Structure 1
Amino acid sequence: MKFIITILATSLLIFSCGDKSNESSKSTGNGTGNQSTGTATAAGGTTAGGASGTSGAAGSTAGATASGGTGSTSAGTGTTGSTAGGTGTSKPPENTKFSKGPYGIGVKDILGEWTVATLDGDFEFKKHFDGSESYFFVMYAGTHNYSKALWGSSFANFIKATPKNVRLFLLSYNSTFKKDLEDQKKRFLNDIKSLDQKTQDHFKERVHFVVEDARKIKGALGDVIRKRPGLFFGLDRNQRIRELGSLSYMNSPPAFQWMAKEAEFFNFEIEREKKLNTKAKIVKAMDNFIHKGGWGSTHSSTFDVELPAKNDIEKYDTLLVDFDMSCEDHLDKNCPDWDHTARLFLCRKDDEKKCDLEVARWITTYKREGRWVTDISPVLALFGEGGKRKFRYTSPNKNSLVLNFRFSNEGKGMRPVAFQEIFKGGSFNQEYNKKQKQLTFKNDGSFKKVETYAILTGHGWGKDVDNCAEFCNHVHFITLNSKEKFMREHKIAGQTYGCMNQVNNGVVPNQYGTWILGRGGWCPGMDVLPWREDLTKALVSGENTLDYKALFKGTDYTPVPHPNANKQGLNASISLNSYLIFWK
């Protein structure tokens, strides 16, 4: 569905999984500095308290005494811990997780060192950052209506929606910056009274009120703000500057709580990286390839890929496709506007002009970048004996593309060796199922597994009463030997938050369009997850039959024209390519 909203503010973000604090505050004179679960008191001097780590990460404690003051320490609860203590000039251990660079101030650059003064004392970035928390920065511009609305939005709603390992820094561009932040802290403390005490205490340590003119902040943070004087941005767990997308949805006012979805997404990114097999053989298919897009001759790009040779490819039982779609300077404003289908086809070995074997599919974002890693292991059967093969990529969007195949052996004891093309889609109406013919295949007992592999999405909206097939729950059935039925349905289709609730599965959040709405088999800014069904246990010896049909509300779909049909709408259709995959 095509709908876009205007970019109203520059944005960036960071996120982390697990609840880990490594926080300190300085106190000069007869003050008290609180640090996570540790405290430090100094008389006539400055003392830093200890740091604590949770969620199975390393924890450390440090204490110091200066100028007659006393320092207290708190122990971390991670799997490993170290303690440093002393008097006079003793220093806490260096944060070895802080990146050594190279640093920059552009989007996706690593951010260097900075320190800011807050209402609770100085905050030193290098001392705190350890890759476990997200950092958000919101700058207040009193003459900007969007900024006013964001600044006045609910802290409680943000806290209820966000992972706990988030830090929020509030700053002001105004000459009245100190009063702005004092007033904002009062509002924050009042707003979170509805939350339980434990949650209040947790976020009191993680919402920071910066009492410096945002334009005059020193260090790397100030450099970023001066280069890109927007209203919000952040850092991810890899210490990289990141955009946050749109913090408002359609015509609704902006709100802090939309940052929570970015935090959730960065958590997903970290977990995704952990699961990747570092020993996988990586074959580059596209390396910063500029796909021109459009609807004419540049809609398709063809390219050759040198797959592993026969003796090598036969070692692998697993195949992932790692696809990165980026925009100039990694800026949202330079990304294509619409959500479109992007598809990868393998050209036939006996006729390279016929590139119709679809192996993977994605739906692009509304004006944001994206990266997706998809398990397409059954496609190993299509790759056959490997070697040089031609591929075709199609999309109307212009992007810089990186596409890698990741081959690995995960000890499955078998691998895909052969395939048979089966069912295809088409216009979704009362004729759809009539066009689907029964197929047969033989089981000679030599295969360890036989499965179906289908790439399936529903499209069409605004033409019929049921808004099919983008926003309706079309249900698909594969029947083996007229007995065993395998089903794929799309329960989130048409649900208001259907796709928003898929951020933890890879949906790019905070897009500039109707990204939150559930779709029939896809979401904007996500890979299309293949529909796979294992038929092995239900096979019979010799000839087997397969039937396929798609229903809506238990029957063949008969579109009922909408009395106020959208002139830009599309008729219902099912985009389907499917295969039988044989494993040995």
Structure 2
Amino acid sequence: MEALPPLMRPPIVRPFLPFFLPFLIGAFACAVAACGDDGAASDSGISDSGMDAPSMMDSAPPDGAMDTGADAGPPDICDEMGLERRPFDVDASGTTFGTAAGDFSVETSDGPFRLSDAWSGCESYVFLNYFDSATGDELWNSFADPLFERSKGNVHYFFSTYETVPTAVAARMDAMRANVEEAFSFMTPEDVAFWRPRVHYLTTSIRDVEGSLGDLVRGETSVQFAVGIDRAQHFDPVGSLSQLTRSGFLARLGMAAYASRYYDYRFDLDQRLARESRDSSVTVVTLMDEGGVTDRELDRVVTLPAADVMATFDSLEVDVEIECHAGPGDCSEWDRIAAIFWCTDDSCAERRELVRWITPYSRPGRRRWAIDATPMLGLLTAGGAQTFRVVMGPTWETATERDVAIRLHLSARGAPNRPVGAELAYRGGPFDAAYDDLHPPYHFTPPAGTTRIELVTLVSGHGQTDGDNCAEWCNHEHEMRVNGGAPRRIAFSDMAGEALGCADLVDEGVIPGQYGNWAPLRAGWCPGLPVAAQRIDVTDDVTVGSENELTYTASFEGGAPRGGSIDLSTYVVYYQ
């Protein structure tokens, strides 16, 4: 029996593959970046948005019906990887990004390929298209090795070109086939046998493809260097394929590997949340579900379950789903701070941060996250009518339309205790020599019956100071003590600047293909990803029913803070 394909193929060993040190990323980012008023860095990324955008002439498809090709049947990959199958939607007729792809066929060097015939229900399909330009040459001349070593097994890659002269098409495909075969020469025979049937070379121009794919390409006014079809059968703009190198941002085939991995993440999340929405044990409260939203900051009043019902919940997830339908460069977002706050009063003059995420760099398409906010149940115990503020970047940013859906998923999952109260102890501020002076000791008294106490912190560093790139790219350290007890530390050692650290988190929700310096890991955050809450159990240091003292200091490399800013919310959370 053939060996099962692993979720991630082992790295291909190619002699003399180029690498670059993490400090290059910080230095280059500092040279090209500007910081927004909200404190989040705004790396300028690719100067020309990473793609050429000439006006495209419509090209009529060739006459004749689509060749259905051979019925190969569903491959074993779904069962081997334990993936859920989704049947092909025969009624789909979409021809634009974000819609369900209608059927189409393409002619390849191995014969006709028709989407409906090849559809397995658990795979995605990525088309990589050449266009005569600097970006096209960069992409086509880059190594193919990383495309396979970073990919999972449930994806097909199609190479095609905008060129229409048959000899030019053939020459372009021959060149890419040679590139791919060179990558295969570094693989095991088993891996080559696995990947070769998943690589396809179109024998006609991408502009002459019949059906929905050709209609999409011809309908776009800018070049599409990549087009994806995800596991839900929806067209997706794969986005920028640029990667930071020693020579700046250059298009690289390996960056396309992250698209299908993100499709897996999003499909699984969609399926799980859809099941929960039908589960009577999960209460879903819709905070907003609106199209054409242009405001960056808005308040919404919703009605939570009554206090006695809220007291039964031990889990809170915040489902955030945002889609931008604009083109690259028109989604207007840089890596800005976004958050959802609970307002302590109707005017929201005072508020508490529930969850935080960092917006992606101008990436069209849909992103979705389910953010664990369980400790914040301690703020919502009263239930009933409550006001929430949604912030999706600075109010002065371009008012691009997007569809926004935010839902609170409340449930009882059998946890040994549940949050019954939460107090805001600290916020952040400028990360300079006076930072610690802004954070005097905080005193708190846990209510009777408390069985566990946590310090829960949302923290991210922003700004890029000369020399150390603090606090976006530096290891800012945070130390807290309760009643003079053991130090509880939050630090980001060896994280900031990891070349593909954020790219490798697409499986956890980072949206790939952003039009900026999205791939390197920051100190505790990534563009296009929620900021995870840091939870520290301090029960053993606390005396329940008496006043306790919390102290907090911050440092950089063991010394005083150097610059930038820290966006921070630290809570003392009580459980029973």
Q: Is the TM-score greater than 0.5?
A: yes
Is 1:306–1:388's contact at 8 Å kept on the other side of the alignment? yes
1:546 aligns with 2:550: yes
CA distance in 2 between counterparts of 1:471 and 1:477 reads: 19
> Residues 314 and 134 (structure 1 numbering): CA distance in 2 closer, same or farther, change over 3 Å?
same
CA distance in 2 between counterparts of 1:49 and 1:427 reads: 61
User: Which of 93, 97, 103 does residue 107 from structure 1 map onto?
Assistant: 97
CA distance in 2 between counterparts of 1:404 and 1:442 reads: 32
CA distance in 2 between counterparts of 1:148 and 1:274 reads: 39
1:390 aligns with 2:387: yes
Paired-residue identity, %: 28
User: Which of 212, 220, 229 does residue 220 from structure 1 map onto?
Assistant: 212
- Where do 5+ consecutive residues of structure 2 fail to align? 1-40, 54-66
- 1:468-492 Cα offsets, whole Å, 9 max, x none, are 1111101112212211332211131
1:578 aligns with 2:574: no
CA distance in 2 between counterparts of 1:272 and 1:117 reads: 34
Question: Deviation at 1:207?
Answer: 0.5
Who is 1:341 aligned against?
337
1:134 aligns with 2:124: yes
CA distance in 2 between counterparts of 1:372 and 1:48 reads: 37
1:429 aligns with 2:426: no
Opposite residue 463 of structure 2, the aligned amino acid is G
Who is 1:368 aligned against?
363
Question: Deviation at 1:221?
Answer: 2.3
**SS of equivalent to 2:121:** coil
Who is 1:193 aligned against?
185
Question: Deviation at 1:49?
Answer: 5.5
Is 1:107–1:331's contact at 8 Å kept on the other side of the alignment? no
Who is 1:60 aligned against?
none
**SS of equivalent to 1:211:** coil
User: Which of 215, 219, 225 does residue 231 from structure 1 map onto?
Assistant: 225
**SS of equivalent to 1:471:** coil
CA distance in 1 between counterparts of 2:382 and 2:424 reads: 18
Is 1:355–1:392's contact at 8 Å kept on the other side of the alignment? no
> Residues 139 and 410 (structure 1 numbering): CA distance in 2 closer, same or farther, change over 3 Å?
same
Is 1:480–1:547's contact at 8 Å kept on the other side of the alignment? yes
Who is 1:159 aligned against?
148
> Residues 217 and 267 (structure 1 numbering): CA distance in 2 closer, same or farther, change over 3 Å?
same
CA distance in 2 between counterparts of 1:420 and 1:515 reads: 34
Question: Deviation at 1:233?
Answer: 0.6
CA distance in 1 between counterparts of 2:70 and 2:197 reads: 18
Question: Deviation at 1:96?
Answer: 7.0
**SS of equivalent to 1:126:** helix
Question: Deviation at 1:367?
Answer: 0.5
Who is 1:536 aligned against?
539
Is 1:4–1:338's contact at 8 Å kept on the other side of the alignment? no
Alignment of 1:152-301 (within 5 A): 152-172=141-161, 173-176=163-166, 177-228=169-220, 230-249=224-243, 251-276=248-273, 277-278=276-277, 279=279, 280-288=282-290, 291-293=293-295, 300-301=297-298
Who is 1:357 aligned against?
352
Is 1:136–1:234's contact at 8 Å kept on the other side of the alignment? yes
Backbone CA RMSD of aligned residues: 2.7
CA distance in 1 between counterparts of 2:512 and 2:446 reads: 45
Question: Deviation at 1:373?
Answer: 1.7
User: Which of 320, 323, 345 does residue 323 from structure 1 map onto?
Assistant: 320
Structure 2-normalised TM-score? 0.79
Say which one has the larger Rg. 1
**SS of equivalent to 2:250:** coil
CA distance in 1 between counterparts of 2:556 and 2:92 reads: 55
CA distance in 2 between counterparts of 1:222 and 1:517 reads: 34
Who is 2:462 aligned against?
459
The number of residue pairs the alignment matches comes to 497
Question: Deviation at 1:47?
Answer: 6.9
**SS of equivalent to 2:487:** strand
User: Which of 45, 61, 76 does residue 53 from structure 1 map onto?
Assistant: 76
Opposite residue 226 of structure 2, the aligned amino acid is F
CA distance in 2 between counterparts of 1:184 and 1:505 reads: 31
CA distance in 2 between counterparts of 1:429 and 1:236 reads: 45
Who is 1:147 aligned against?
136
**SS of equivalent to 1:461:** coil
**SS of equivalent to 1:151:** helix
**SS of equivalent to 2:212:** helix
> Residues 381 and 257 (structure 1 numbering): CA distance in 2 closer, same or farther, change over 3 Å?
same
Question: Deviation at 1:169?
Answer: 1.0
CA distance in 2 between counterparts of 1:483 and 1:443 reads: 17
**SS of equivalent to 2:309:** helix
Who is 1:476 aligned against?
478
- 1:85-124 Cα offsets, whole Å, 9 max, x none, are xxxxxxxxxx972124443111111112222222112222
Is 2:86–2:231's contact at 8 Å kept on the other side of the alignment? no
> Residues 56 and 540 (structure 1 numbering): CA distance in 2 closer, same or farther, change over 3 Å?
farther
Structure 1-normalised TM-score? 0.78
- 1:379-417 Cα offsets, whole Å, 9 max, x none, are 111112211111222322435222111112211143222
- Where do 5+ consecutive residues of structure 1 fail to align? 12-27, 29-45, 58-76, 81-94, 294-298, 560-570
Name which structure has the greater RCO, CA cutoff 8 Å, separation 6+: 2
- 1:477-521 Cα offsets, whole Å, 9 max, x none, are 221221133221113123333323332222222211121232223
Q: Which stretch shows the higher mean deviation, 335-344 or 183-192?
A: 183-192
Who is 2:12 aligned against?
none
Who is 2:560 aligned against?
556
